[in-house]
A and B are shown apart, each in its own frame.
Chain A
C-alpha cells in the first residue's frame, strides 16, 4: 500500500503521454513518470535498502532526467523549426530529409 500514491502519480504521467499529441506535453508526462519513480525509490529506502545507496540512486536519476530533457527538448525545437508544428502525428519519418 505504501507505493500506491506513487503508482497513481505514475499512471497520471502515463495518461498525459497517451492523451496528448503535442511533443512538449508528452515530455511533461515523462517527467511526471520519472519523478514518480524517484518517489518510489525513496520510499523503498525507507523500507528495505541502504539509505545512502538509494539517495545516490535518486540523485543520479534526477541528473539523467535533466540530461534527457535537455536533449529531448532541443529535438522538439528542431522539429518545430522544420515542420512548423510539434504535433507528433506529423513526424512520420526519422530520416533527415526535406519533405
Chain B
C-alpha cells in the first residue's frame, strides 16, 4: 500500500477537524486562527493531489492574505463578545473528521494527472492571456472599490 493515500486521508481528517473547530469556536479570534490552519491543510491536500503550485497559491492567498485581513477586521471591530454556544451534543460533529479522513483515504485518485507549475504557466500564457489580464484588472478594481467603501466621507463622524 502506498503512503500517499494514507497521508491524504490523515490530511483530510485534520483539515475537516480544523473546520469543525471554526464552527464550534467560542471566540472569533480563535476561529480565525483555526481557519488559517484549515486553509493550510487544504493547500497540503492540493499538493497531495499532485498540484503543488495550486497548493502553494492556496496557502499564500488564503492562509496569508485573506486571513490577515480577517484577523485585522476581528481586531478593529467591536466584537469582543463571545460567540453563542451550542449544546454539548454538537460535539458529536467531531466524528465527521475521521469519517472524512477514511473516505478520502478510500477514494484517493492514485493515477490522477500531475498539474505542475509548468503546465499551468504554459496554459495561462499561451491560451489564457486575456483572462489573466482581466483577472489583474479585477484585482485592481477590487482594491480601489475596497478603498472607496472604507474611506470616511465628508461630514461623517469617525468612531
> A residues engaging B (CB < 8 A)?
1-2, 4-5, 8-9, 12-13, 15-16, 19-22, 24-25, 27-29, 31-32, 35, 38-39, 42-43, 45-47, 51-56, 58-60, 62-71, 73-78, 80-81, 84-86
Contact = CB atoms under 8 A, between A and B. Distances in A.
Nearest to B152: A81
A49 to B, nearest CB: 10
Given A45-B113, A59-B57, A74-B147, 6 more contacts: A8-B16, A43-B49, A66-B142, A71-B146, A78-B149, A85-B78
B113 A46 contact: yes
B112 A46 contact: yes
A32 B63 CA distance: 12
A5 B138 contact: no
B109 A43 contact: yes
Nearest to A41: B54
B128 to A, nearest CB: 6
Instruction: Summarize A's interface: helix, strand, loop or mixed.
Output: helix
Given A9-B19, A46-B109, A80 B119 contact: no
Contacts of A54: 115
Contacts, number: 198
Instruction: Summarize B's interface: helix, strand, loop or mixed.
Output: helix
A64 B138 CA distance: 8
A25 B76 contact: no
Given A12-B16, A86-B77, A35 B39 contact: yes
A74 B144 CA distance: 11
Given A73-B69, A78-B150, A42 B79 contact: no
- B interface, how many residues as a size bin? 35 or more
Contacts of B79: 22, 24, 85-86
Interface of B: 12, 15-16, 19-20, 22-23, 28, 31-32, 35, 38-39, 42, 45-46, 49, 51, 53-54, 57-58, 61-62, 65-66, 69-70, 73-74, 76-79, 83-84, 86, 93, 96, 99-101, 103-104, 106-107, 109, 112-115, 119-120, 122-124, 127-128, 131, 135, 138-139, 141-143, 145-147, 149-150, 152, 158-159
Contacts of A65: 61-62, 66
